[in-house]
Amino acid sequence: MATTELGAALRRRRDQVPPEAAGLPAGGHRRAPGLRREELAQLAGISVDYVTRLEQGRAANPSAQVVEALARALRLTSNGRADLFQLAGLVPPGPETIPAYVTPGVQRMLDRLTGTPVAVFDAAWTQLLANPLYAALMGEWHGDDLNAVWRNFLGTAPRVRHTPESRDALRAAQVADLRRTAGRYPADQRLQHLISQLRSKSAEFEELWEAGGAGRHQSARKTIDHPRVGALTLDCDVLSVAGSDLRIMIYTAEPDSQDAERLALLAVIGTQELTGC
């Protein structure tokens, strides 16, 4: 069965990925040199139980999104990713679909920028990867909130401090960017579903969509109100990856500033929950 072959491939690939190669600490006793199931599940954003069932051949028909997430977590090359899709009985997404493949080189870059909040988004502004410091700074997103456009119109309140003017400018830029993406990928069903949901649930999004504005994201200084270290004013830059529609978002602080000190403190604290004392 394809799922049994997929399970064997997942176990084999998991054993071949040293934890430090996936940006994880290598300490502690390990029965095998590779990733634990819990670590693969964490990196892929799926449950440990589902990883177990996939490896044991008890889960059938994983979605393309799950296979894509597993391929990213396992740091597969483009050929390895294609093999994983085939074993899952799926065809790798074609050129009509928004690319979600993150090259091992981009992943290694994130691993090296441990003191800098960095995240990777696709062309629809859905977060694909985020290093631990980005998650600590901005919060950990799940479900619909992984999409920055959804989050800013309908989801969890962001930590970024906005004036009415800056919020309006951001939303206008996001809608215009999503419109351009829809023009490049008119057959992408997930994108069409996202746009449909936003248009039906947000009167502001619908108004901006109908207006057809041409705003664009720009580098900016942003103040993030963090619940544990206080306010941080950081430079936010969005970089593009050559040959891909991926966007890399990076936050940096001015050297020797209070913001740099707070960012360094956040790197130590991480995403630990604050406990009473």
Domain harbouring 185, CATH code: 3.30.450.180
Same domain (yes/no): 72, 27: yes
CB atoms closer than 10 angstroms to residue 68: 23
Identify whether the C-beta of residue 271 lies closer than 8 Å to the C-beta of residue 132. Answer: yes
Euclidean distance between CA atoms 138 and 134, whole angstroms: 6
Residue 99 in any domain: the answer is no
Same domain (yes/no): 141, 240: yes
Place of tokens 């890399």: 248
Residue 275 in any domain: the answer is no
Identify whether the C-beta of residue 275 lies closer than 8 Å to the C-beta of residue 141. Answer: no
What is the number of structural domains in the chain? 2
- Looking at residue 109, its pLDDT comes to 86
Same domain (yes/no): 82, 184: no
Euclidean distance between CA atoms 114 and 158, whole angstroms: 22
Nearest of 67, 47, 65 to residue 2 by alpha carbon: 67
Residue 216 clears pLDDT 80, i.e. is over it: no
Identify whether the C-beta of residue 83 lies closer than 8 Å to the C-beta of residue 101. Answer: no
Same domain (yes/no): 246, 112: yes
Same domain (yes/no): 173, 142: yes
Per-residue tokens: 257:
């500033």
Q: What is the pLDDT of residues 176-206, one digit of tens each?
A: 999 999 999 999 999 999 999 999 999 999 9
Residue 8 in any domain: the answer is yes
- Looking at residue 192, its pLDDT comes to 96
Between these two residues, 28 and 224, which has the higher pLDDT value? Answer: 224
Residue 152 in any domain: the answer is yes
Show which of 52, 87, 122 is a domain's final residue: 87
Same domain (yes/no): 81, 208: no
Same domain (yes/no): 115, 69: no
- Looking at residue 261, its pLDDT comes to 96
Q: Residue 47's domain is classified under what CATH number?
A: 1.10.260.40
Nearest of 137, 136, 135, 203 to residue 171 by alpha carbon: 203
Residue 97's pLDDT band (cuts 50, 70, 90) = very high
- Looking at residue 244, its pLDDT comes to 83
Quote the domain boundaries for residue 155. 104-269
Same domain (yes/no): 40, 68: yes
- Looking at residue 2, its pLDDT comes to 45
The residues with which 276 forms a beta bridge, in sequence order, are none
Q: In the predicted model, what is the mean pLDDT of the chain?
A: 89
Same domain (yes/no): 260, 139: yes
Residue 98 in any domain: the answer is no
- One-letter amino acid at 141 equals W
Same domain (yes/no): 175, 41: no
Residue 92 in any domain: the answer is no
Same domain (yes/no): 259, 205: yes
Between these two residues, 262 and 212, which has the higher pLDDT value? Answer: 262
Q: What is the pLDDT of residues 42-82, one digit of tens each?
A: 888 889 999 999 999 888 789 999 999 999 999 999 899 99
Residue 8's pLDDT band (cuts 50, 70, 90) = very high
Residue 96 in any domain: the answer is no
Q: What is the pLDDT of residues 245-277, one digit of tens each?
A: 899 999 999 999 999 999 999 999 875 544 333
Same domain (yes/no): 196, 239: yes
Identify whether the C-beta of residue 67 lies closer than 8 Å to the C-beta of residue 85. Answer: yes
Supply the pTM of this predicted model. 0.84
Residue 214 clears pLDDT 70, i.e. is over it: yes
Per-residue tokens: 53:
């069932």
Residue 209 in any domain: the answer is yes
